[in-house]
Amino acid sequence: MKVIGKKTPRVDGVALATGKPVFTDDVSVADTVFIKILRSPHAHAKIVEIDKSEAMGISGVVTILTHEDFPAHYYTTAGQGYPEPSPRDTRILDSTVRFVGDEVAIVAAETNEIAEKSIEKIIVKYEILPANFEMEKATESSSLHPESGKTGIYNTQKNMASHLEAEIGDAEKAFSESEHIFEGTYSTPFVQHAQIEPHITLTWLDENGRLNVRTATQVPFHVRRIVAEVTNFPISKIRVIKPRIGGGFGGKQEILTETLCSAITLKTGRPARLELTREEEFYATRSRHPQKISLKIGLDENQKITAMTANILENCGAYGPHALTVMSVTAQKLFSIYKMQNFKVVGNAVYTNLPIAAAYRGYGAPQAFFALESLMDEIATELGICPIEFRKKNLFELGDELPIMRALGEGREGFKAFVNSNGLAECMEKGRKLIGWDEFQQSDKNSPIQRGIGVATSAQGSGIAGIDMASAFIKMNEDGSFNLLVGATDLGTGSDTALAQIAAEVLCVAVEKIIVYSSDTDLTPFDTGAYASSTTYVSGGAVKKAAEKVIEQILEQGQKFLNLENVKIENEFVIAETGDKISFKDLCTKSFYTENQMQIMAEASNMSFDSPQPFNATFAIVEVDTETGFVTVGKIVSITDAGKIINPQMSEGQVEGSIPQSLGMVLSEFMTFDENGKMTNTNFDDYHIFTSLDMPEIIVDFVETDEPTAPFGAKAVAEIPINAPAPAVVNAIFNACGVRIRNLPITPEKVMKKKI
């Protein structure tokens, strides 16, 4: 292959690196009003009265909207397939607030400062309602969503947003016949995406009265659909444009700022701008679902897993976007690496009066693998066997069916799935060598610094089977270049480049000949969006098909122009067996102006009933300071099977970027709340993401496999590497000092407590 798998600079790299005005905020429209949001100081309250007279009186205030300005229409902020599997439990502005930070009113003013001043002058009378902050108590607490008209909530009275169950074989019977049984309960906290660019939207009405929405989103087509629904404005009159994005990680799979901004523009007729503050990003956008997972594993005398049961309790916070689907991924992934005949999983997602959780890179899988890979390590220790050999013994093999995928789809019944490629065992072997597993020496027992080593594995998907759909459109230009138009959304991941590579490979041209334009609902065809690790696999498939159709047309025109049957493509020429040839340039020019006139162009759609699993094995070496409990991660080796690698540097970048996020989740990142449910660490001074000085040495490598259902054999690489670093560190800490912590994060204080 000429382009696939080769060093290819990003198509947007120069513009980004030279500071060109590429982000949402880099454009300003004359006459814009600025929006600020008044947020609830209470965790649960009814709004009895809103007096906005004083606030409206401030010079420069243009309008103030509250729940009184909107009908009681319920929707979900989750940008996912339609009809959405998430409960429709949200109003654009509600008369009840359900967490500290919930939206009460929006002010539009001539400047940000005036808007800020104005929200302080809005007088709201609240009737305080009882609030619950513990997911364990959710089912006995008073209902957060008793209102009629809300749909898709599993059990309103019991605060259960969603519920799932799946069963294969007979786990209880298998346990009774098992040689060994192991159990453990594992829990994870709320953590934040902490992407650099906050949520930001700019809206305006163009000369034809159409609503333009320039926004930092991962899901432009879902934005268009949901803005239309919530503002009651026709889809045909909405254009959503996604410029370059400063990170999303799932946080921008939510429709948050777009609906509010659009409502202001539609109300005032003026351009509107809404950018959230860092504090709002923390407590008022979205986070990772805390989960409590109880696992029970049965083994036979050969240390083969015979059965496993899992109980998942998931904390949604006050609303339920992605409540069911995140939990479904947790459930699926628990049963996607190790082969067994009997299993059962039950999951409940519950409401609490805390900030809202939703999609975050990994989407339920990090919680699953923290639990599963901790327990696997505990079992290996208990039985005195090598954790790598123990895992290898239990892996799925090529051709095996993944029964969980049949039993449990993404919010509905699934599709039959098989393991068509699996490089996990090789990933483990490669990592074992690169980390020096067999040579590793623990520290002297008397040393205050104890070193340890750990391993963990994981799986993810590539798109959502049977749901995600993407399309692409390609047209040829008379200089032999091609426009590639895709709905797919590059949120900083580099997918525009990967898709250009796929087109270039099929069209037999250099990547520079592909002009990518993406994510504009007026100009590019539909794509469900950038989530579920779907773009290379699903959108890439569409690009490949479209390019193949274009090549057909080029060959046909070539045959006609050369008057010969047997032609092939070489170096941007159509060449006949006789040696006669015509360049792409001449071929397209002729097609435009002189002979058999036509635009060479094609479009294609793609969806898949498969979601092939990428795999990863991560190894960690840590040092635990036994005098302070402080854990330093010394080295991470992350080996991924993402099928065929389309772009090596970008793939490495995906892996490297995921590691600090996973290390943060295990060691330093967690949202804290006071007794009233107010988040207390809403800034980077107290919410500790890893800094460059905290980062360990990282070795990233790949085991390439060929996925038969994928474009050029490529599986996804976006989410897979975020899962295993956390459990690898957990296991390394145990290896270092014998402290096993089952509730994240592992703070120095927790390590010290466990040691005594």
CB of 250 to other proteins, least distance (A): 24
- Residue 676 contacts other proteins per CB under 8 A: no
Which tokens hold the place of 488? 């797919």
Cβ neighbours for 698, distance < 8 A, ≥ 6 positions apart = 635, 636, 637, 638, 656, 659
Q: Any contact of residue 672 with other proteins (CB under 8 A)?
A: yes
Residues facing residue 601 across a β-bridge: 475
- Site mask for other proteins (CB under 8 A), range 109-148, x = bound: ----------------------------------------
* Beta-sheet strands, E only, within 460-566: 469-476, 482-486, 514-518
CB of 248 to other proteins, least distance (A): 24
566 is a contact residue toward other proteins (CB under 8 A): no
Is residue 149 a contact point for other proteins (CB under 8 A)?
no
Alpha carbon separation from 739 to 384, 627, 733, 753 (Å, rounded): 17, 14, 7, 10
Task: Quote the least distance from Cβ 625 to other proteins, whole Å.
Answer: 9
Q: Which is nearer to other proteins, 34 or 690 (CB)?
A: 690
Cβ distance to other proteins smaller for residue 36 or 252: 36
628 binds other proteins (CB under 8 A): yes
Q: Which of 680, 697, 738, 743 binds other proteins (CB under 8 A)?
A: 680
**Which of 480, 494, 629, 643 is in the footprint of other proteins by CB under 8 A?**
629
What are the C-alpha distances in Å from 52 to residues 58, 59, 70, 440, 491?
10, 14, 16, 67, 38
Judged by CB under 8 A, does residue 301 bind other proteins?
no
Binding residue for other proteins, selected from 58, 569, 698, 752, defined by CB under 8 A: 752
> Which CB sits closer to other proteins, 204 or 687?
687
Query: Under the criterion CB under 8 A, does residue 234 sit at the interface with other proteins?
Result: no
The reply to whether 630 sits near other proteins by the rule CB under 8 A is: yes
Q: Which residue has the tokens 């505990």?
A: 378
Instruction: For residue 728, give every residue at least 6 positions away whose Cβ sits within 8 Å of its Cβ, in sequence order, or none.
Output: 373, 454, 455, 456, 618, 619, 620, 636
Token pair recorded at residue 104: 């009460």
DSSP designation for 621? E
Alpha carbon distance 373, 228 (integer Å): 43
Of the listed pieces 352-360, 413-421, 424-432, 622-630, which binds other proteins according to CB under 8 A? 622-630
DSSP 597-609: ----EEEEEEE-S
Pairing mode, strands 567-570 and 697-702: unpaired
| Strand pairing class (45-51; 123-128) | antiparallel
Q: What DSSP character marks residue 189?
A: -
Rounded to the nearest whole angstrom, what is the least distance from the CB of residue 634 to other proteins in the complex?
Answer: 12
| Smallest gap from residue 636 Cβ to other proteins (A) | 16
- When binding is defined by CB under 8 A, the residue of 237, 742, 747, 754 that contacts other proteins is 747
Closer to other proteins by Cβ: residue 30 or 196: 196
Asked if 151 is part of the footprint of other proteins (rule: CB under 8 A), the reply reads no
Beta carbon of residue 537, minimum distance to other proteins (angstroms, whole number):
36
Minimum CB distance to other proteins, residue 575 (Å):
59
- Starting from the edge strand earliest in sequence, which strands make up the sheet with 449-459, in order? 449-459, 615-625, 631-641, 697-702
Strand pairing category for 615-625 and 449-459: antiparallel
Cα-Cα end-to-end distance for the chain:
59
How many residues are there in the chain? Answer: 756
**How many Cα atoms occupy the beta-carbon half-sphere of 608 within 13 Å?**
24
Closer residue to other proteins in complex, CB, 566/691:
691
The identity of residue 652, as a single letter, is E
Among 68, 179, 627, 697, binds other proteins (CB under 8 A): 627
Please report how many Cα atoms fall inside a 13 Å half-sphere around the Cα of residue 47, on the Cβ side: 24
When the beta carbons of 257 and 668 are compared against other proteins, the nearer one is: 668
698 forms beta bridges with: 636
Considering beta carbons, is residue 510 or 695 the nearer one to other proteins? Answer: 695
Which window, 63-71, 212-220, 239-247, 742-750, contacts other proteins (CB under 8 A)? 742-750
Give the single-character DSSP code of 613.
Answer: P
| 448 contributes a contact to other proteins by CB under 8 A | yes
Nearest approach in angstroms of CB 628 to other proteins is 5
Indicate whether 172 belongs to the interface with other proteins (CB under 8 A). Answer: no
Binding to other proteins (CB under 8 A): which residues in 686-725? 686, 688, 690-691, 693-694
Least separation in angstroms between CB 686 and other proteins: 6
Is 603 an interacting residue with respect to other proteins (CB under 8 A)? no
How many Cβ atoms are within 10 Å of 249's Cβ, its own excluded? 26
Distance, C-alpha 276 to centroid of its chain: 20
Q: Does 196 engage in binding with other proteins (CB under 8 A)?
A: no
Binding site for other proteins (CB under 8 A): 448, 627-630, 668, 672, 680-681, 684-686, 688, 690-691, 693-694, 747-749, 752
